[in-house]
Structure 1
Amino acid sequence: MIAPKDIDRMVRIARTGFAKNTGAGVSRALSEAGFPTRRGWTGSIPLPVRETIRRELIEDHGVATERFSECYDSQGKAASRREALETARYEKKAETVQKDRVLIKAAPGGALIIDDREIPLPEGCHLCAPVEMAGRIEARGVILVENLEVFQDFHLLDFALPEKNRDDLVVFRGKPHVARQDTAEAFLKRLAVPVVACFDIDPSGLSNALSTPFFEDILWPGREALMDMRRLWRPDRYQAQRQVMGRLDGAGGELAKARDFLRENGAGVMQEAFLNSGRELESCLDSQS
Structure 2
Amino acid sequence: MEGTIIKGIGGFYYVKINNDIIECKARGKFRSKGLVPMVGDNVIISIKNDQGAIEDICKRKNQLIRPAVSNVSQAFVVFALKNPEINLELLNKFLLQCEMKNIKSIVCFNKIDLEENFINHEAVKMVESAGYEYVFLNAKKGIGLDKIKDKFKGNVTVFCGPSGVGKSTILNKFVGTELMETGDISEKLKRGKHTTRHSELIEISGGFLVDTPGFSTIELSIKSKESLKEFFPEFFKYDSQCKFNGCMHYKEPGCRIKQALDEGEINNNRYDFYIKTLEEIIKGGKDKW
TM-score class, shorter-chain normalisation, is under 0.3
Q: TM-score, normalised by structure 1?
A: 0.27
Which has a greater percent of helix? 1
Bigger-Rg structure (1/2): 2
Superposition TM-score, scaled by structure 2 size = 0.27
Question: Of Structure 1 and Structure 2, which has the larger fraction of its residues in strand?
Answer: 2
